Amino acid sequence: MAKITASVYTSHVPAIGAALDLGKTQEPYWQKVFSGYEYSKQWMKDNKPDVIFLVYNDHATAFSLEVIPTFAIGTAAEYTPADEGWGPRPVPKVQGHPELASHIAQSVIQQDFDLTIVNKMDVDHGLTVPLSLMCGQLDKDTGAWPCPVIPFAVNVVQYPVPSGRRCYNLGRAIRNAVESFDQPLNVHIWGTGGMSHQLQGPRAGLINAEWDNRFLDRLIDEPAKLAELPHIDYVREAGSEGIELVMWLIARGAMSDKAPTVKHRFYHVPASNTAVGHLILENNA
Amino acid sequence: MSLDKPYLDVPGTTIFDADQSRKGYWLNQFCMSLMKAENRQRFLADQRAYLDEWPMTEAQKQAVLARDLNRCIGEGGNIYFLAKLGATHGKSFQQMAGSMTGMTEEEYRDMMIAGGRSAEGNRHAGEDGNAQPQHQPQGSAAKPGF
């Protein structure tokens, strides 16, 4: 049977991708960000999964205003890095895992979560920046990500966005789905986006380090209670784009009910407009 | 029953809800078209002509031409769509976000390095934080827009 052994949480700021792609990683500004992922890159090598289930949000890239799925699971064999207006990131294509993705779709839909099934989409920085942070820089032609990835896109762009509780319970359904897959796969689930940031209006640049760190504490220790937090609290306290943090609850919900082992925790301000938060939790089944 | 909007009293913030999305549909769809290199080239070659291919309002077109993101958002734009416009003009998310505050690029960057904007006084309308209307514009940028 397949098993979720660990979850990873990280911000997915586009400027982090640009810093990597333009060779700025040694600049002091960016070194402070990347230093938080040195442990993580080694951990990925030491704990290489068979599949990554990667929860992220599409930033008006694959989904325009024509179609806005609340939860979309990628069941394709391959995904191309998107041109978001500045050309595609020079990173390898992302290989999917159609069999596991289709199984998860079937199981989760039968557990009453209405997923949208996507067989063709480009993936934006929301998906590729976390991969770069955790796996390091790879040549777009000769490099390859360490394993297949199942993209799982959540609408946090146009309201209504799903509640924290809905996301947490969806994570639990994904856990059931993975555990009922009949191949012995080691699966990691990643929750990305956040932490506090606001990219719009006179309030742009809002950061709330105290709130973010409390969020990290509660994500580790009392995720079900954290999942009850209403959207307006995210907006007021962590900025309009801080709402992305509901996606972390999907990954956390997919973990075992036993307390996880915290392998790594990192927090830094700023990366561009954003507070960078990062956790690695291992399951204690 | 109309939409429930508990977020209307957050200062300096526009939540992209169904009303905003309906208002900004063509503005945002125009932005999506800039994900193709050939469209970016055509837009930059003659912005007005390119905009006139879209059923946008004149106010939306003027906001785009002025590169004024606060006005674009007021006309229904969303930052993730507008980011394609910024990228077409060679601007980063930090330059775009900063342009909405009245700060210069340096002033905004320095604020972020110093820990970002505090939530204090900026949670509810009527408080006295730096995102409140009585404190706009916040910096010494010569003009709105990026």
pLDDT of res. B91: 95
How far is it between the farthest Cα atoms of chain B?
Answer: 47
User: Residue range A118-132: average pLDDT?
Assistant: 97
B23 and B74 co-located in one domain: yes
pLDDT digits (tens, 9 = 90+) for A192-235: 999 999 999 999 999 999 999 999 999 999 999 999 999 999 99
B66 and B21 co-located in one domain: yes
User: Residue range A177-201: average pLDDT?
Assistant: 98
pLDDT of res. B82: 98
Q: Which of B90, B117, B132 is the last residue of a domain?
A: B90
- Half-sphere exposure of residue B92: CA atoms within 13 angstroms, side-chain side: 16
The answer to whether residue B41 sits within a structural domain is: yes
Assess B6–A contact: CB distance below 8 Å, yes or no. yes
Q: Do B13 and A275 touch (CB under 8 A)?
A: no
| Structural domain harbouring B105 | 101-141
Region for residue B14 given its phi and psi (left: phi exceeds 0; alpha: psi -120 to 50; beta: otherwise): beta
For residue B11, the cross-strand partners are none
Using a pLDDT cut of 90, give the percent of chain B over it: 95
Question: Which among B69, B76, B64, B127 has a CA at the least distance from the CA of B97?
Answer: B69
Minimum Cα–Cα distance from B5: chain A residue: A232
Asked if residues A40 and A262 have their Cβ atoms less than 8 Å apart, the reply is no
The secondary structure element, H or E, covering residue B51 is helix B47-51
The answer to whether residue B124 sits within a structural domain is: yes
Question: Which among A93, A97, A135, A273 has a CA at the least distance from the CA of A195?
Answer: A273
Using a pLDDT cut of 70, give the percent of chain A over it: 100
Give the tokens for residue A6.
């660990």
The answer to whether residue B95 sits within a structural domain is: no
User: Residue range B15-37: average pLDDT?
Assistant: 98
Q: What is the ipTM of this complex?
A: 0.97
The answer to whether residue B61 sits within a structural domain is: yes
pLDDT digits (tens, 9 = 90+) for B97-121: 999 999 999 999 999 999 999 999 9
B25 and B65 co-located in one domain: yes
In this predicted structure, the answer to whether residue B1 has a pLDDT above a threshold of 80 is: no
pLDDT of res. B136: 95
B112 and B74 co-located in one domain: no
The answer to whether residue B63 sits within a structural domain is: yes
B23 and B86 co-located in one domain: yes
Active-site hit among A59, A103, A197, A268: A197
Asked if residues A253 and A170 have their Cβ atoms less than 8 Å apart, the reply is yes
Asked if residues A125 and A158 have their Cβ atoms less than 8 Å apart, the reply is no
B135 and B73 co-located in one domain: no
- Quote the pTM value: 0.97
pLDDT digits (tens, 9 = 90+) for A8-57: 999 999 999 999 999 999 999 999 999 999 999 999 999 999 999 999 99
Show the DSSP H helices in A185-271 as ranges: 209-221, 223-226, 231-238, 246-253
- ∠ CA A153-A155-A157, rounded to 5°: 130
For tokens 């009922």, the residue is A180
User: Residue range A109-131: average pLDDT?
Assistant: 98
Asked if residues B107 and B140 have their Cβ atoms less than 8 Å apart, the reply is yes
Per-residue CA distances from A164 to A20, A221, A245, A252 (Å) = 32, 16, 9, 11
B123 and B86 co-located in one domain: no
pLDDT digits (tens, 9 = 90+) for B48-97: 999 999 999 999 999 999 999 999 999 999 999 999 999 999 999 999 99
- Distance between CA atoms of residues A174 and A193, nearest Å: 19
B85 and B108 co-located in one domain: no
pLDDT of res. A277: 98
B57 and B119 co-located in one domain: no
B39 and B73 co-located in one domain: yes
Considering only CB atoms, which chain B residues are within 8 Å of A14?
93
Per-residue CA distances from A228 to A164, A222, A255, B25, B109 (Å) = 6, 11, 18, 32, 34
User: Residue range B25-44: average pLDDT?
Assistant: 98
B21 and B60 co-located in one domain: yes
Q: Do B94 and A232 touch (CB under 8 A)?
A: no
Quick one: pLDDT band at residue A178, thresholds 50, 70, 90?
very high
In this predicted structure, the answer to whether residue A285 has a pLDDT above a threshold of 90 is: no
In this predicted structure, the answer to whether residue B2 has a pLDDT above a threshold of 90 is: no
Q: What is the nearest CA distance from B68 to chain A, expressed in angstroms?
A: 11
Give the tokens for residue A189.
């689930």
pLDDT of res. A263: 98
pLDDT of res. B3: 87
The answer to whether residue B36 sits within a structural domain is: yes
User: Residue range A114-125: average pLDDT?
Assistant: 97
B72 and B110 co-located in one domain: no
To test the contact with chain A by mutation, choose from B29, B35, B64, B72 the residue with the greatest count of A C-beta atoms within 10 A, namely B35
Helices (H) and strands (E) in chain B, counts: 9, 0
Q: Please, is A211 exposed, middle or buried when counting C-beta atoms within 10 Å of its C-beta (0-12, 13-18, 19+)?
A: buried
The answer to whether residue B44 sits within a structural domain is: yes
Considering only CB atoms, which chain A residues are within 8 Å of B112?
205, 207, 269-270, 272-273
Show the DSSP H helices in chain A as ranges: 14-21, 28-34, 38-46, 98-110, 125-135, 164-179, 209-221, 223-226, 231-238, 246-253
Assess B60–A contact: CB distance below 8 Å, yes or no. no
Give the tokens for residue A104.
């998860």
User: Could you give the domains of chain A?
Assistant: 3-282 (3.40.830.10)
Number of domains present in the structure of chain B: 2
The answer to whether residue B75 sits within a structural domain is: yes
Q: Supply the mean pLDDT for chain A.
A: 97
pLDDT digits (tens, 9 = 90+) for A128-162: 999 999 999 999 999 999 999 999 999 999 999 99
Q: Domain of B69: which CATH number?
A: 1.10.700.10
